[in-house]
Amino acid sequence: MNLPVKIFTMLHILIYRLTGGILGSQMGGQSMLLLSTTGRKSGKQHVIAISYIQDGNHYLLVASNWGKDHHPAWYYNLTSQPLADIQVKARKLRVTARPAAAEEYEQLWNYISAKNPMYNRYQQNTRRKIPIIILEPQS
């Protein structure tokens, strides 16, 4: 990640946290949450701001990585350690992550891409099938 992007990302997370999501929970028409994962190699906590789509009480993340031919690091972290924390505006939740199962994938993809057609462009730019991760809040 280049320095200006890294600085912007750090500021976005800081502002999101300081304002309880009053600032930073919307970006470019997308709803944003903070995702805290455990690094699969380092074991360290990593926090990113990421767009999501809510589906009932689940949060859907798309591992598009801007249409690149590899999955984003957060995807690998969640598949290695599915327990994570999210912040949605001021609300903090412990979640369990799981990839969308084959039988639910197409319906979820249609739902997601109807809300954000950019995901269809990302899928066209890569040979990999872009994963959908479902975050389920723990009770």
Please compute the mean of the pLDDT values over residues 3-29 and round it to a whole number.
94
Question: Is pLDDT above 90 for 1?
Answer: no
Question: Is pLDDT above 80 for 23?
Answer: yes
Query: Please, what are the domains in the chain?
Result: 3-137 (2.30.110.10)
Cα three-residue angle 94-97-100, rounded to 5 degrees: 145
Residue with tokens 């190699």: 41
Cα three-residue angle 91-95-100, rounded to 5 degrees: 125
Q: Return d(Cα 127, Cα 112) in angstroms, integer.
A: 19
Q: What is the largest CA-CA distance in the chain?
A: 41
Question: Is pLDDT above 80 for 91?
Answer: yes
Mean pLDDT for the chain overall: 95
Whether pTM > 0.85 for this model: the answer is yes
Residue 101 DSSP one-character state: P
